[in-house]
């Protein structure tokens, strides 16, 4: 599957399904799968401990997550570059941007091209008012990090492709800033208000 004998990175929206398929394809050789929503430093330590358990035959460690924290990736760097004897790593995530360039440079990368579909959200950015803004924020203030990032991308898709709004520089930069803030663990409630207020101001100016 991967050109690099140390293993590789697989980018796919079907994380758990692909992990199971890889496990099946490797048999009778041993594999150990670490499946998480958000892969953290304690998960990286668990992986490293498993990697240093001696093996006579090849053992593949499969790390699947919707997001990998920066501390976790930094903890894995050395072992990815110099894995113990007979250890192979496969990292699976939905987006290439999840991984640090230093991680991507150590492993070959395979990207599955899957068509991402966006359904219309129950909010109109074109006619947004304060009550609609706060109702939407309240409904979506408890999402996990990967879900929050997906929601921001969905809002941007709705603005551009569904409602076909001529976005200003401020509005476009608001989406970019929102994704960065979510990655830094900012409160989703505050991030959503920041993004949506840009559209509320546009409505007010048009009246």
State the pLDDT at residue 3.
52
Q: Is the pLDDT of residue 5 over 70?
A: no
Q: What is the DSSP string of 76-110?
A: HHHHHHSPPTTEEEEEEES-GGGS-HHHHTTSEEE
* Secondary structure letter of residue 32 according to DSSP: E
Quickly count: other Cβ atoms within 10 Å of residue 17's Cβ.
11
| Residue 92: pLDDT band with limits 50, 70, 90 | very high
The arithmetic mean of pLDDT across residues 94-102, rounded, is 87
The C-alpha atoms of residue 175 and residue 47 are separated, in whole angstroms, by: 34
The C-alpha atoms of residue 96 and residue 110 are separated, in whole angstroms, by: 9
State the pLDDT at residue 118.
62
pTM above 0.85, yes or no: no
State the pLDDT at residue 204.
46
Smallest Cα–Cα separation from 89: which of 183, 165, 22? 22
Residue with tokens 């240093």, as numbered in its chain: 52
Q: Is the pLDDT of residue 20 over 80?
A: yes
The arithmetic mean of pLDDT across residues 172-187, rounded, is 88
Q: What is the pLDDT of residues 59-78, one digit of tens each?
A: 999 999 999 999 999 999 99
State the pLDDT at residue 179.
86
Cβ-in-10-Å burial (0-12, 13-18, 19+) of 49 comes to exposed
| Residue 205: pLDDT band with limits 50, 70, 90 | very low
State the pLDDT at residue 102.
87
Q: What is the pLDDT of residues 161-174, one digit of tens each?
A: 899 999 898 998 99
| Sequence-separated (6 or more) residues with CB below 8 Å from residue 94 | 11, 12, 13, 15, 66, 146
User: Across the chain, what does the average pLDDT equal?
Assistant: 88
The arithmetic mean of pLDDT across residues 81-103, rounded, is 91
State the pLDDT at residue 136.
95
pLDDT, greater one: 202 or 136: 136
Q: Is the pLDDT of residue 2 over 70?
A: no
Q: What is the pLDDT of residues 34-58, one digit of tens each?
A: 999 999 999 999 999 999 998 889 9
């Amino acid at each position: 599957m991967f050109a690099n004998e140390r293993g590789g990175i697989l980018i796919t929206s079907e994380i758990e399904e692909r992990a199971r398929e890889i496990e099946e394809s490797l048999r009778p050789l041993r594999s150990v799968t670490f499946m998480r929503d958000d892969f953290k430093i304690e998960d990286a330590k668990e992986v490293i401990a498993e990697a240093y358990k001696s093996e006579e035959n090849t053992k593949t460690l499969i790390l699947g997550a919707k997001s990998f924290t920066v501390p976790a990736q930094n903890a894995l760097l050395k072992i990815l570059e110099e894995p113990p004897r007979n250890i192979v790593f496969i990292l699976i995530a939905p987006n290439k941007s999840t991984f640090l360039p230093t991680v991507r440079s150590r492993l070959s990368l395979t990207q599955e091209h899957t068509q991402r579909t966006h359904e219309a959200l129950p909010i109109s950015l074109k006619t947004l008012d304060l009550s609609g803004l706060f109702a939407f924020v309240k409904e979506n203030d408890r999402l996990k990090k990967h879900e929050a990032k997906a929601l921001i991308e969905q809002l941007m898709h709705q603005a551009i492709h569904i409602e076909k709004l001529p976005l200003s520089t401020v509005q476009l930069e608001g989406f970019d800033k929102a994704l960065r803030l979510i990655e830094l663990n900012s409160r989703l409630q505050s991030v959503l208000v920041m993004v949506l207020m840009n559209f509320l101001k546009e409505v007010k100016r048009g009246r």
